[in-house]
Amino acid sequence: LSDSISTEELLEIYSRYYQDEPFVRVLDPGEIPQTQAVRGSNYCDIGVKVVEESGLAVAISAIDNLTKGASSQALQNMNIMAGFDETAGLLFPGLMP
């Protein structure tokens, strides 16, 4: 990092950046993304932490590569290209945020 910031400040930056992305969830401080939380969904969970001793930012994400990486991503892209609601056909009961 070029500036000294806290984990909470970094989380705020990520949260603002992804606030309008329906399938991105920025996790609370200390939470680590886990594949079981995104399994069978189009979600991408992101966890971030600042390692103050080294001035590094660590970002970890989790996706289900069979959905977000392929079929659901294709449907999401088609929705955007065709002018449909980005989430059409992608929010499944039991997988809501």
Report yes or no: 43 and 25 within 8 Å, Cβ to Cβ. yes
Q: Which residue has the higher pLDDT, 9 or 69?
A: 9
- Vertex 69, ends 86 and 41: CA angle to 5°? 60
In this prediction the pTM is 0.81
Per-residue pLDDT for 92 more than 70?
no
Mean pLDDT of the chain: 89
Give the tokens for residue 11.
């989380």
Query: What local confidence, expressed as pLDDT, does residue 94 receive?
Result: 54
* Percent of the chain scoring above 90 in pLDDT: 61
pLDDT at 40: 83
H helices of 1-97, in order, are 7-17, 35-38, 72-82
Q: What is the pLDDT of residue 69?
A: 67
Q: Which residue has the higher pLDDT, 69 or 8?
A: 8
pLDDT of residue 93: 52
Residue 44 β-bridge partners: 24
State both tokens at 12.
């705020």
Residue 64 scores a pLDDT above 90? no
